[in-house]
Structure formats: structure tokens, C-alpha cells
Amino acid sequence: MQKFSLDELAGRLLDRAAGSAGGHAAEGVVGGRERVLRQILIGMVKGSALQEHESPGEATVHVLRGRIGLASGETSWEGRAGDLLLVPDARHSLEAFEDSAILLTVVKRS
């Protein structure tokens, strides 16, 4: 068994994100490209965004800190700390309305 402090990792990623050109930083927590289940912790500074992209499978976004917006087409959802958002099976984007940390969980399509 392994144990992770998501709060500690979120703090480190937000520090890295603040110093990055894109305003975000990510680190894999569980799984990886070779696994079906992947969990990635992403730190995003206020105003940064993950531009529109496809989802590689079923996915959720668990907001650990801050406030984010998830948009797909004409529809958008806001998430705050503690919220779990289901990622649509369509092109989508993500924006940080505050310094934020999210746990992205993806189960890849076979």
C-alpha cells in the first residue's frame, strides 16, 4: 500500500505552477500511460487554463482547492473545493478562477 498527502503535493504543485509559463503544473499520482486508471494532480494559478482538448476516457475532476470552471461547447460548470465534476465525453477546457488544485481521474478507453 502507498499513501499520498494530496494537500502537500497540491501546495508544491501550486508553487511550481506560479513559476511556470503556462501557470499550471501536474504530477501523476496513480497509474500512468500504461495503466487503465490514471490520477493526476494539477496545480493551476488564477487565470491559467487548460485549452480545449479531448478526453482519453471517462474522467472526473475533484476540486481540492480553489475554484475552477469546466466548459464544453456552450455549457459550463463551476467547481469549488470539495466538488466532484464529471468530465463530458466531448471537447472541453478548464480554467482556474482562483489558485486551484484538482485531482483528475481518468479511466482510459480500451
Per-residue model confidence as pLDDT tens digits over 50-82 = 999 888 789 999 999 999 999 999 999 999 999
Predicted confidence band of residue 39 (pLDDT cuts 50, 70, 90): very high
State the chain's mean pLDDT as an integer.
93
- 90-101 per-position pLDDT tens digit: 999 999 999 999
**82 versus 110: which is more confidently predicted?**
82
Q: What's the confidence (pLDDT) of residue 55?
A: 80
Q: What's the confidence (pLDDT) of residue 110?
A: 67
Task: List the domain boundaries for the chain.
Answer: 6-108
Question: How far is the C-alpha of 10 from the C-alpha of 3, rounded, in Å?
Answer: 15
pTM for the structure as a whole: 0.92
**Coil, strand, or helix at residue 10?**
helix
Handedness of CA 31, 16, 92, 74 (dihedral sign): positive
Q: What's the confidence (pLDDT) of residue 38?
A: 92
Name residue 30's beta-bridge partners.
Answer: 39
Q: 6-108: which CATH topology? A: Jelly Rolls (2.60.120)
